[in-house]
Amino acid sequence: MLLHLKPEQVEIGMFVGGFDGRWIDHPFWRSRFLVETADQLARIRESDVTAVIVDRDRSRVVSGASEEMFPVERRTTIPSGMTPPYRGVERRRAAIFAPSPRARAFRPATYAQERRRAARVIDKSRRAVIDLFESARLGRAVDGDKIAPLAQAISDSIARHSRVLLNLVRLKQKDEYTYLHSVAVCALMINFGRHLKLSEAEVQELGVAGLLHDVGKVAIADDVLLKPGKLTLGERVSVEGHPLAGHSLLAQSSDIPTAALEVCLRHHEKMDGTGYPGGLSGEALSLYARMGAICDVYDAVTSDRPYKAAWTPCEALSAMQSWPGHFDPRLLDQFADSLGIFPVGTLVSLSTGVLGIVTGSASENGEAIVVRVFFDCDLLAECAPVDCEIPPTAREPRIVGRASPTFWRFDDWPAMVQRVLAATPDVDPQP
């Protein structure tokens, strides 16, 4: 017999057979399990699910069943004068007029609201990736149907508030890297795909690709994977085998999207042909493979590792732009734009109708950008230079995007940059 209980009615010893409510609101990767620990119980009671479905026959505890374990529906109070058919009409009306789960998923959220939801999505995804890697280690085929909802939840969070989840997942602890890296690459791929205006189906596939791209690492010993020093030749061969190992593992499943197979196999290839496993170069590398290479390295260098402190987003982008032959340079610029990262010297337009030059970052984590505003787009004339600090969450003024010196007819752009940067600016947060 199945009982619908409120979360606070669940006890240790009860067998959970499912949850009522949205998938993302329940705190477990599996939805069928025996509640055995106080920690499991606390997570159920603190969750946002509307009801917990308890399988009475598989539960070890049936205490309180006489009163407390009635199905939720049977305990509903019917106001006097209302007959059961009225309740049926009300329920149908509620179902018709309630927002659909997809509509709810895209309801805009404040930064603080989304931060709580994104933290839950990240935690759930991390545990799912651990499960996935464990199964792969045991040689089990990867179940694409379990991965797609994770990519969807990450994608929904980014759609509601593009920066929250990306910022949170970058702040991973050193020991969380292995699993959260997959979640981070998933989020970066989704954000990048949307910026490139790819179809939503492709964006979702790229998310799955991010989650699965390093699954071949299960074949590498942990001491090699986390080794701080230089790898021996044998160890390097083992590490460089992970794209092929991952690809052959994923190819065993029929429901893995093509983009995921492609990114898994090619995310360590380089534009000049010096990457692995195929040594492919230039046009031989698909868009998905080039995107995967960028997102993978960006997350690696902006994360704290046992042997290296994290770079700020700006430092990472500048370094990646200085490695000739590694990435597709035009795609790398697009990637920077997708994250709102503008290297020093970039001409940007602000939402207040002015142009400025990026002169650096104001905060320790490199997220607040300092822009020297010097040109009024309405008057089509230079104005007295003003330095302003723009946090990533700023609504007004905010950076709209890169601007083209050619479009604005700044004929001698390098000389203009020098002149503007040499001037003494005012400091004004509201240009």
Can you give the binding site for Fe ion, defined by CB under 5 A? Answer: 214, 296
Tokens of 36: 């055995």
User: Closer to Fe ion at the Cβ: 11 or 214?
Assistant: 214
Shortest distance, CB of residue 144 to Fe ion, whole angstroms? 19
296 within 8 A of 213, measured Cβ to Cβ: yes
Q: How many CA atoms lie within 13 A of 48 on its CB side?
A: 8
Shortest distance, CB of residue 265 to Fe ion, whole angstroms? 10
Shortest distance, CB of residue 216 to Fe ion, whole angstroms? 8
Cα dihedral 296, 299, 301, 303 in deg (nearest 10): -140
Q: Distance between CA 373 and CA 361 in Å, rounded? A: 15
145 within 8 A of 198, measured Cβ to Cβ: no
Shortest distance, CB of residue 181 to Fe ion, whole angstroms? 6
Shortest distance, CB of residue 251 to Fe ion, whole angstroms? 17
- Beta-carbon count within 10 A of 139 CB: 9
Q: Distance between CA 431 and CA 416 in Å, rounded? A: 20
Residue type, 354: V
**Phi, psi (degrees; rounded to nearest 5) at 356:** -150, 170
Q: Report the candidate in 372, 375, 368, 382 with the shortest Cα–Cα distance to residue 427.
A: 372
Shortest distance, CB of residue 214 to Fe ion, whole angstroms? 4
Shortest distance, CB of residue 409 to Fe ion, whole angstroms? 43
User: Closer to Fe ion at the Cβ: 14 or 332?
Assistant: 332
Shortest distance, CB of residue 389 to Fe ion, whole angstroms? 33
User: Closer to Fe ion at the Cβ: 4 or 268?
Assistant: 268
301 within 8 A of 293, measured Cβ to Cβ: no
User: Closer to Fe ion at the Cβ: 156 or 296?
Assistant: 296
373 within 8 A of 431, measured Cβ to Cβ: yes
Q: Answer positive or negative: Cα dihedral of 132, 133, 138, 143.
A: positive
User: Closer to Fe ion at the Cβ: 2 or 319?
Assistant: 319
User: Closer to Fe ion at the Cβ: 205 or 296?
Assistant: 296
- Beta-carbon count within 10 A of 12 CB: 13
**Phi, psi (degrees; rounded to nearest 5) at 387:** -90, 130
User: Closer to Fe ion at the Cβ: 214 or 328?
Assistant: 214
